[in-house]
């Protein structure tokens, strides 16, 4: 079953969020504390998950708190993925697998 949170308007879909794309996927709670997200990224996140947060920015709410949280998360990401060069290797392998399964990407 695909889990989506979707907002509809008279003009169509405004926002669709795939709730499977959260720490621990469908096995994790829909809403998570900052500390549980940091712990997940420190121990279990896949490379692509870490990379998605490296350029994240706050959009709403308490901007200062969000910036602090994202900075902390990006520090974890950098230690796990950036410094070691692991992200380059893992992403290259992911891209090769996707190209093999779906054909070349024409960006």
Q: What are phi and psi of 16, to 5 degrees?
A: -130, 125
The answer to whether 73 and 37 are in contact (CB under 8 A) is: yes
Q: Are 47 and 13 in the same domain? A: no
Q: Are 49 and 90 in the same domain? A: yes
Tell me how far apart the alpha carbons of residues 70 and 77 are, in angstroms, rounded to a whole number: 10
Task: Note the pTM of the prediction, 2 decimals.
Answer: 0.67
Range of the domain at 97: 33-107
The total of structural domains in the chain comes to 2
Q: Are 40 and 84 in the same domain? A: yes
Q: Are 25 and 40 in the same domain? A: no
Contacts of 27 (CB under 8 A, 6+ apart): none
Tell me how far apart the alpha carbons of residues 52 and 50 are, in angstroms, rounded to a whole number: 5
Gap between the terminal Cα atoms of the chain: 31
Q: Are 43 and 92 in the same domain? A: yes
**11 or 37, higher pLDDT:** 37
Cα–Cα distances in angstroms (integers) from residue 91 to residues 7, 42, 56, 76, 94, in the given order: 32, 18, 18, 18, 5
Report pLDDT digits (tens) over 53-98.
777 888 889 999 999 998 898 888 777 766 666 667 777 887 788 7
Q: Are 42 and 66 in the same domain? A: yes
- Mean pLDDT of the residues in the chain: 81
Q: Are 37 and 26 in the same domain? A: no
Q: Are 11 and 43 in the same domain? A: no
Tell me how far apart the alpha carbons of residues 93 and 99 are, in angstroms, rounded to a whole number: 10
Q: What is the pLDDT of residue 39?
A: 92
Q: Are 63 and 97 in the same domain? A: yes
């Amino acid at each position: 079953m695909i889990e989506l949170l979707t907002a509809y308007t008279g003009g169509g879909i405004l926002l669709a969020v795939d709730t499977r794309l959260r720490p621990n996927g469908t096995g994790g709670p829909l809403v998570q504390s900052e500390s549980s997200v940091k712990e997940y990224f420190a121990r279990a996140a896949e490379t692509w998950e870490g990379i998605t947060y490296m350029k994240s920015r706050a959009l709403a709410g308490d901007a200062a708190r969000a910036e602090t949280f994202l900075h902390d998360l990006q520090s974890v990401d950098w230690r796990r993925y950036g410094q070691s060069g692991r992200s380059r290797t893992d992403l290259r392998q992911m891209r090769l697998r996707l190209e093999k399964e779906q054909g070349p990407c024409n960006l």
